[in-house]
Amino acid sequence: MTILIDNLELRRLYSYDDITLTGAFVSFLAVIAFLLSFGYLKNSKERECVPYSVDIPLESLVEWKGEILDSPTIKVSSFELIVLTVETLQKDEIQCYNPANGMLLKTLKAHSLEDIDLRIENAGVARQQWRKTTFAQRRQVLRSMLKFVLENQETIARIACIDSGKTMLDAALGEILTIVEKLNWTIKHGEAALKPERRPTSMIMIYKHAEVWYEPLGIISAFVSWNYPFHNVFAPIITAIFAGNAVIIKGSEQTAWSSRFFTNIAKKALEACGHSSEIVQNVIALPEQASYLLMHPSIRHVTFIGSHEVGIKVAKQAAEILRPVTIELGGKDAAIILEEVHDINAVTATLMRGTFQSAGQNCVGIERIICVGKIYNQVIDLVDPLVKNLRVGYTLDEEVDMGAMINDRTFDHLEELINEAVMQGARLVYGGLRFHHPKYTKGHYFMPTLLVDVTTSMRIANEEVFAPVMTFMKASTLDEAIEITNSSKYGLGGSVFGKNNMHVEHVISSVETGMMSANDFACYYLAQLPFGGTKGSGYGRFGGNEGLRAVSNLKSVCTDITNLVQTRIPSVVQYPIRDQDKAWCFLQGLLEVLYATNLRQRAQGLMSLARNSV
């Protein structure tokens, strides 16, 4: 607040002889100071971030060295393990390893059905108290998490890199930044999304308050993918606990090693703030146990992030018991480049980040670049040297631009798709093959790939590749670009780059997706807008108001504005009905009074009410 006081006013307020303020002004300042101090003291406990620590896995330490597996996989037979002189792996154990170099991290035992039951039971007990917590208490937990994440960025990123093979910069952008922003948004806006929401009423309910209440559902579960080990585990925890729920996190078996640490970050924050850590549970499960968790009678909601094929199975199973599901199943996101753009170099940089971040293993990654007209060759000429100069390797040992892929199971199929496209007329500018890294011979690497002149008839234009493959398609007109975009069975996200705002808006309104960015890539996620798709990309939303409400029980509540006016059933329609004809005419008149479109009909209705009300 700025107060402008002229010289005369200054003379009135101040005595320059003794340099004291007038009594009135001192009183004014004292009142303001008291109010500010009271507000600060009143909210200081909420603003407080409680410090805490989490044990770091030994395998993440710089000096730690593990055995390099000969054939790295998360599950191998006992015979293979004996040959490798590693302890025998039972059928319910998971072999965790670093996909960048094939180094064994740990062998973890999958949780049994009894283990899952116990975790759900513990979560159920703990959530009875948690659901009663105030939003201020929940914000304190989230603030404490935020402080921990900011102070431990390097450790968190390092662990994510070890378990997924991505680079430190990819982890900073895709793991840390996204979680910090989600925490920040939920702290600031989460309560507003979940407070009772007033709804308008009609004339017949003019004496009522109509509201929607958002109440905790209970125990919810999240089945999350491996491509963002920290983010995918932590994001559903934030949403679940702020909405007053307990949550069971079932991370991918591919990143089971890191999921325990990331879950513990949340559990320790709860403990530090005086709450039970049991409301957050981590389940390590193979598909057999995961199905049991999905169908468990105590689970009230399921979030699933994964492949289209598995998502269909999840939806079918959940439908059998009427369990609500939010499903995100990946996509075939297109970036449409109009003939005129603001800055072609900025567009090129965005396309590179959108395609090659996390080695292309990104559900909203750019899988198709559709250029309209003459800009097609210009963009290809700009990205060509950039793709060829990408450095591939292990981020914790050397400076690299792109890391490893999570495994090599898709490599044969990727090479097949690319070779098939070339046979059908596409041009392979660079890459197209698995990369045998000279230093990390057991790592899972695929060459950054640039494939141009792709058409909709090719499989690579329709299947989600989830790999570092930059694919270019040409459109003669804006409408053709839209048609190409909508030819995919997926409809998750997309982007459009152009100067002409009318053309940009036309693209946004015409493409069949759940999310769109203008002159940017996936910015809707950092903006905390609802995240999700349409068509083959799933249904439901997480993120933003809609994400919090998706894990809440929406309760419609109607109350009296005042006790002086309450509902009374008119005697003419009370059971048992004494006169059917009179009751009918009474209700007909009531409808005419309330809903007729002209005064004459309303007057007739009023007369009918008067005649038939007794």
Active-site positions read 328
Are the C-beta atoms of 501 and 482 separated by less than 8 Å? no
Instruction: Tell the burial category of 281 from Cβ atoms under 10 Å away from its Cβ (0-12, 13-18, 19+).
Output: buried
Listing DSSP states for 139-177 in one string gives: HHHHHHHHHHHHHTHHHHHHHHHHHH---HHHHIIIIII
Give the integer Cα–Cα distance in Å for 403 and 160: 12
Q: Which residue has the tokens 């490893």?
A: 404
Give the integer Cα–Cα distance in Å for 614 and 609: 9
Listing DSSP states for 77-133 in one string gives: -HHHHHHTT-PPPPTTEEEEEETTTTEEEEEEEPPPHHHHHHHHHHHHHHHHHHTT-
Listing DSSP states for 548-587 in one string gives: HHHTEEEEEEEEES-TTS-----GGGSSSPS-HHHHHHHH
Q: Which residues of 225-255 are buried (b: 16+ CB within 10 A; e: fewer)?
A: bbbbbbbbbbbbbbbbbbbbbbbbbbbbbbb
- What is the three-class DSSP state of 286? coil
3-state secondary structure 369-384: EEEECCHHHHHHHHHH
Tokens of 482: 């839209």
Q: Which residue has the tokens 């390590």?
A: 284
Tell me how far the alpha carbon of residue 64 is from its chain's centroid: 33
Give the integer Cα–Cα distance in Å for 236 and 239: 5
Instruction: Tell the burial category of 352 from Cβ atoms under 10 Å away from its Cβ (0-12, 13-18, 19+).
Output: buried
Give the integer Cα–Cα distance in Å for 8 and 78: 93
